Amino acid sequence: MKCKALFVGILLSTIFILRGHAQQDEFPVLKGPYFGQKPPGMTPQIFAPGIISSSDAMEYGIAFTPDGKEFYFNRNGVGVMVCTWGDAGWTAPAKAPFLKKYKGGAVHIMYDGKRLLMNRYPDAHDLKEGETGGIWALQKTEAGWENPEFLIAEGMRATSTLNGIIYTTDTSNFRKEGKDQGIIAKYIYSDSGYQRAADPDGGVNTKNSEAHPFIAPDESYIIFDSTRPEGKGKGDLYICFRDEKGHWSQAINSELLNTGNSDWCATVSPDGKFLFFTRNGTGNGDIYWVDAKVIDELKPEGMK
């Protein structure tokens, strides 16, 4: 009986390995940055349809390494996916190897290329006794992303500046009736770890829900999504610009980005050329991209 069970196990493993090789063999040869896709203009387009944006799942939360050769994104129901770019082109999306040890999602690669920020969930079974959910950093090693370090409690989808300042969503009031459902929070590193600074002012935080921030590398603007009553859809992308005194402008809602559906979870590529975000349509959500010049188009005249 043991021999039979062992044989079945080996057979199933072989099938899965062969299936994985077959999927990679069937994957098209895609060379060049951004999977060889035609760059978009000022109208958002689905990014890599059938390759990254699938017809049977929701994709969101993209992240590039600074050199643009590793691409991460979330696929709902699967987890964090990764593709790498080498001499043979881009690899097919595969589940990120670090998920075998560390469960989480909504990754962001810091600009030094050495740390991957990830939201680890409070109920994740990989958390050890005494550990808590929130924002963790995985360190870049020769073996991959390892050595998780706890940074921020009650955080969701972190993003960072060139000098390591972190913006994230404070989730401490999530699902508490009558409470603000999301606050954009700022954290600055000190000798005792990341400490919360004053929350962004201006039009960033309101009594409505604000979430999934993207902070510019130089902290000159912030993009986030919110469910405000004046919005165009079920959730809109907003942008605020920071002045010379460090104050944030009122939030700007753009017809170039938002629709009657839910538009959310924006990221700008490390080279500053493209803005990525997720748009939920009928059923699933796809990753869209648009020329990042849209950000300059939205900037108030007095700040240009």
Residue 16 falls within a domain, yes or no? no
Residue 172 falls within a domain, yes or no? yes
Q: What is the pLDDT of residues 47-97, one digit of tens each?
A: 999 999 998 899 999 999 999 999 999 999 999 999 999 999 999 999 999
> Are the C-beta atoms of residues 168 and 213 closer than 8 Å to each other?
yes
Residue 234: domain span: 44-303
Q: Which amino acid is at 6?
A: L
Using alpha carbons only, give the angle 112, 114, 118 rounded to the nearest 5 degrees: 105
What total of structural domains would you count in the chain?
1
Residue 110 falls within a domain, yes or no? yes
Which of 183, 262, 265 is closest to 224 using CA atoms? 265
Q: What is the pLDDT of residues 7-34, one digit of tens each?
A: 434 443 443 333 444 445 588 999 999 9
Residue 33 falls within a domain, yes or no? no
Write the Ramachandran bin of 178: left for phi over 0, alpha for psi from -120 to 50, otherwise beta: left
Rounded-to-integer distance, Cα 268 and Cα 56, Å = 25
What are 49's two structure tokens? Answer: 């349809």
Residues 6 or more apart in contact with residue 7 via CB below 8 angstroms: none
Residue 186, domain CATH: 2.115.10.20
pTM of the model: 0.88
Bridge partners, residue 119, by sequence: 105, 135
Residue 29 falls within a domain, yes or no? no
| Residue 5's pLDDT band (cuts 50, 70, 90) | very low
Residue 145 falls within a domain, yes or no? yes
Residue 37 falls within a domain, yes or no? no
Residue 30 falls within a domain, yes or no? no
If 0-12 CB within 10 Å is exposed, 13-18 middle and 19+ buried, where does residue 256 land? middle
Predicted local distance difference test score (pLDDT) of residue 118: 96
